[in-house]
RNA sequence: GCGGGUGUGGUCUAGCGGUAGGACCCGAGCCCCCCAAGCUCGUGACCCGGGUUCGAAUCCCGGCACCCGCACCA
């Protein structure tokens, strides 16, 4: 029962516990206990290295509460709430519109509860068990709240993304109006799940790390840095259901993946997951089925990790959100959310246009004249050609047709120079579920040695980097050990010191919480200033200078392997 | 949200109408030992709220949490 062993360590050793335990707990909420909190932070910091440092996507931090309009625009108010109806007799709950479609053979039913309610009553629809159906209600997955005393409605964000979309105009100018650019956010999101289960995998409040990458849709087939990952092998499960193992390049060439941007971030994601400690062979990418896709997505691939306890678990969603969100916010807010694409060469066009003669229009049409002029300017070029032929043109002003003749207008031929055009950028979004990744990391790290548990967390993510022990509790040994302990901490690494119990028990204790290295001060240390450095995963020890040991541990935590350290020591004794 | 099961120290558990016992963990001390195993002492629990009863961890009802199934899952 390895999963129960994991559960046991997580709770007992201070990684995780149910929130509000003293009040009986609330399902869907977990506290990160001391070690869990540090592990989570380390995973997030590694993510920052991949997305903020390497990719140059700077980090923002936006509120978790947003006014209603944001989610009206994003479609969450409409799509993120399902009409549901329960049977009064057997208790089965149905998605009301789906159920009626099936029962009545109707199509495209409105999701409005009132409409569905009337249908049920009029047509006498009953539950499959024969029982009477209750009231149709809306089951929203968003937590609602009110903002201020006036009670303006707001919601807790169901994803961190919207906060970034709505700041697009600022971002666009921050990145000096050049695409592609990206921005990231690590933060909490909230979904009022009907019935959260499976511990960390379905939380009501969870942490997302999202990157929003804004690209010119005409340039998304080619990612400027694709070479780096072209040969990266990916295990893919496209909609067709077959399992393929292809390089990123092949996958794009064969049309399995739509473009290099998606392929690049899938490969990047895979590298990140491996860096935090998930073996490559446990990672695959599965394409969302059409009906599984979010309302905003055109294509979406999930990175999934094979867990012992839950099978394949989605930990990252990489979606092509197209221009859905920017368009939506532009249309509801009235603020332009576009970018400018410069043509390679400016285009000059000779065009004809109609110029209103206000000296005539004014006196003749009075108040209506300005609006007539406006309408004339909006006429297509063909209207000018026609005017030239016929000497008359008709415009629509507030539903009224106005006929204009030669005295009202004249034709002007001009050269228009167009240096580019506006467009709405597309968004590629890798969205990471940090809590699920943390679970996967812990599960993958759990191993057993001689009946004892060892958490083989990679040194980069391990909450505590080193343990320092005096072999036995003698003042001379403790003095040296405490000095090493202080020096390790002063180099910025969390460490623990322990002088109680047998040495074996102390090693076992720190193995169980994943401390990668242990330093032991023994009697030889007093003679020649050396200490032993122990490797958690092999229990091997090497003897190194007490002065060198903090620096060595730091390098080991920055990526040097244990084997490299041994070679180094063998080369320069 | 529905049905079934479960709920005793940090963990695993005994007790199943008479007021909680063990093991491990943890803490203090002894021992001085390089991989949890010695000795002594110690802290610490009946998920919450009602009811039945002289008396409830134990029986009943409700709630909460966890597990399994159903439903839900942008």
Residues A225/A56, Cβ–Cβ less than 8 Å: no
Alpha helices in A446-548 (DSSP H): 475-490, 503-512, 523-528
For residue A225, give every residue at least 6 positions away whose Cβ sits within 8 Å of its Cβ, in sequence order, or none. Answer: A264
Q: A225 with A452: CB under 8 angstroms?
A: no
CA nearest to nucleotide B35 C1': residue: A504
Q: What whole-number distance in Å separates Cα of residue A127 and Cα of residue A280?
A: 47
CATH of the domain at A296: 3.30.930.10
Distance from residue A560 (CA) to nucleotide B22 (C1'), in Å?
47
Beta bridge partners of A274: none
Q: Which residue is nearest to nucleotide B36 (CA to C1')?
A: A505
CA angle A328, A331, A337 (to 5 degrees): 75
Q: Nearest nt to A507, CA vs C1'? A: B35
pLDDT bin (cut points 50, 70, 90) of residue A3 is very low
Domain extent, residue A477, equals 464-571
**Is residue A277 located within the same domain as residue A151?**
yes
Protein footprint on strand B: which nucleotides are under 7 Å from a CB?
1-3, 7, 10-12, 25-29, 31-38, 47-48, 63-68, 70-74
Q: What is the mean pLDDT of residues A13-33?
A: 81
Q: Of A543, A306, A564, whose CA–CA distance to A459 is shortest?
A: A564
Residue nearest to nucleotide B71 (CA to C1'): A93
Residues A156 and A305 in one domain: yes
Distance A479 CA to B30 C1' (A): 22
Q: Tell me what the pLDDT averaged over chain A comes to.
A: 86
User: In the structure, how far is the CA atom of residue A86 from the C1' atom of nucleotide B1, in angstroms?
Assistant: 8
Question: Over 80: is that where the pLDDT of A354 sits?
Answer: no
* Residue A2 confidence (pLDDT): 38
pLDDT value at position A142?
A: 85
- Residue A395 near residue A176, CB atoms below 8 Å: no
Q: Which residue is nearest to nucleotide B73 (CA to C1')?
A: A193
Lookup: nucleotide whose C1' is closest to A300 CA: B74
CA A4 to chain centre: 29
Checking if the pLDDT of A369 tops 60, the result is: yes
Q: Which residue is nearest to nucleotide B70 (CA to C1')?
A: A92
**Do A317 and A382 share a domain, yes or no?**
no
Whether A116 and A248 share a structural domain? no
C-alpha A202/C-alpha A29 separation (Å) is 9
Q: CA–C1' span, A195 to B3, in Å?
A: 15
- Give the CATH number for residue A414: 3.30.720
The answer to whether residues A135 and A149 belong to one domain is no
pLDDT digits (tens, 9 = 90+) for A462-489: 999 999 999 998 888 999 999 999 999 9
The owner of tokens 């559960």 is A7
In a domain, A186, yes or no: yes
Q: Which nucleotide is nearest to A202 (CA to C1')?
A: B73
The H-or-E segment that residue A313 falls in is strand A311-322
Give the per-residue pLDDT at A297. Answer: 79
A557: CATH: 3.40.50.800
Q: For A141-189, write each residue's pLDDT tens digit.
A: 888 888 887 778 889 999 999 999 999 999 999 999 989 999 999 999 9
- Regarding whether A213 and A173 lie in a shared domain, the answer is yes
The C1' atom of B20 and the CA atom of A1 lie apart, in whole Å, by: 30
Q: How far is the CA of A1 from the C1' of B68 (A)?
A: 17
Contact between A565 and A552 under an 8 Å Cβ cutoff? The reply is yes
Domain boundary among A420, A453, A472: A420
Tens of pLDDT, residue by residue over A403-453, are 777 777 777 777 777 788 889 999 999 999 999 999 899 989 988 888 788
Instruction: Please name the nucleotide lying closest to A524, CA to C1'.
Output: B34
Q: Is the pLDDT of residue A457 over 60?
A: yes
My answer on whether A193 and A277 are in the same domain is: yes
The pLDDT assigned to A209 comes to: 96
pLDDT, tens digit (0-9, with 9 covering 90-100), for A81-132: 766 776 666 556 666 766 676 666 665 566 666 777 777 777 777 766 566 7
Task: Look at the block and give the residue holding tokens 């580019």.
Answer: A420
The gap between A48 CA and B28 C1' (Å) is 45
Q: Is the peptide bond before A180 cis (omega within 30 degrees of 0)?
A: yes
Provide the CA A336 distance to its chain's centre, in angstroms.
25
**Residue A508, nucleotide of least CA–C1' distance:** B36
β-pairing, A311-322 with A299-307? antiparallel
Q: Which residue carries 């932070």 as its tokens?
A: A41
Percent of chain A whose pLDDT exceeds 90: 52
C1’ B28 / CA A474, Å: 17
Q: Which residue has the tokens 């506290």?
A: A31
Round to a whole number and report the distance in Å from the CA of A24 to the C1' of B14.
Answer: 25
């Amino acid at each position: 029962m390895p999963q129960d062993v994991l559960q046991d360590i997580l709770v007992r050793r201070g990684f995780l516990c149910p929130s509000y335990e003293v009040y009986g707990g609330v399902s869907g909420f977990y506290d990160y206990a001391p070690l869990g909190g540090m592990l989570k932070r380390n995973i997030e910091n590694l993510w920052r290295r991949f997305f903020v440092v390497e990719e140059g996507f700077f980090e923002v931090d936006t509120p978790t509460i947003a006014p209603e309009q944001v989610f009206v625009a994003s479609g969450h108010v409409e799509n993120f709430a399902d009409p549901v109806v329960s049977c009064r007799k057997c208790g089965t709950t149905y998605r009301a519109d789906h159920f009626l479609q099936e029962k009545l053979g109707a199509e495209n039913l409105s999701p409005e509860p009132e409409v569905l309610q009337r249908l049920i009553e009029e047509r006498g629809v009953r539950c499959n068990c024969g029982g009477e159906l209750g009231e149709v209600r809306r089951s929203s997955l968003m937590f609602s709240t009110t903002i201020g005393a006036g009670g303006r409605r707001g919601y807790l964000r169901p994803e961190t993304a919207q906060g970034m979309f709505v700041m697009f105009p600022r971002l666009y100018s921050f990145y000096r109006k050049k695409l592609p650019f990206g921005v990231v956010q690590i933060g909490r999101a909230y979904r009022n799940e009907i019935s959260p289960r499976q511990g960390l995998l379905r939380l009501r409040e969870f942490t997302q790390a999202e990157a929003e990458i804004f690209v010119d849709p005409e340039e998304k087939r080619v990612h400027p840095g694709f070479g780096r990952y072209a040969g990266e092998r990916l295990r893919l499960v496209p909609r067709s259901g077959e399992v393929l193992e292809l390089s990123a390049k092949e996958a794009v060439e064969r049309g399995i993946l739509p473009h290099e941007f998606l392929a690049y971030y899938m490969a990047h994601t895979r590298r990140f997951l491996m860096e935090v400690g998930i073996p490559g062979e446990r990672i695959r990418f599965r394409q969302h089925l059409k009906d599984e896709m979010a309302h905003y997505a055109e294509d979406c691939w999930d990175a999934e990790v094979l867990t012992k306890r839950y099978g394949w678990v989605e930990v990252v969603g990489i979606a092509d959100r197209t221009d859905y969100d920017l368009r939506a916010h532009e249309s509801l807010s009235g603020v332009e959310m576009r970018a400018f694409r410069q043509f390679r060469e400016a285009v000059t066009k000779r065009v004809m246009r109609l110029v209103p003669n206000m000296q005539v229009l004014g006196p003749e049409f009075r108040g209506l004249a300005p609006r007539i002029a406006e309408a004339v300017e909006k006429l297509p070029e063909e209207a000018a050609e026609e005017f030239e032929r016929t000497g008359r043109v008709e415009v629509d002003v507030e539903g009224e047709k106005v006929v204009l003749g030669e005295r009202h207008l004249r034709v002007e031929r001009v050269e228009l120079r167009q240096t580019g055009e506006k467009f709405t950028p597309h968004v590629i979004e890798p969205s990471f579920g940090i809590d699920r990744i943390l679970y996967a990391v812990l599960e993958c790290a759990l191993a057993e040695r001689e009946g004892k548990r060892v958490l083989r967390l990679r040194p980069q993510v391990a909450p505590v980097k080193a343990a320092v022990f005096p072999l036995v509790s003698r003042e001379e040994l403790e003095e040296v050990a405490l000095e090493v302990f202080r020096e390790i901490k002063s180099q910025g690494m969390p460490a623990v010191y322990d002088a109680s119990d047998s040495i074996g028990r102390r090693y076992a204790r720190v193995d169980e919480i994943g401390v990668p290295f242990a330093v032991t001060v023994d009697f030889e240390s007093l003679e020649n200033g050396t200490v032993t450095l122990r490797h958690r995963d092999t229990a091997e020890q090497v003897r190194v200078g007490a002065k060198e040991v903090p620096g060595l541990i730091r390098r080991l935590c920055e990526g040097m392997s244990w084997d490299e350290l041994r070679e180094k020591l063998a080369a320069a004794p």
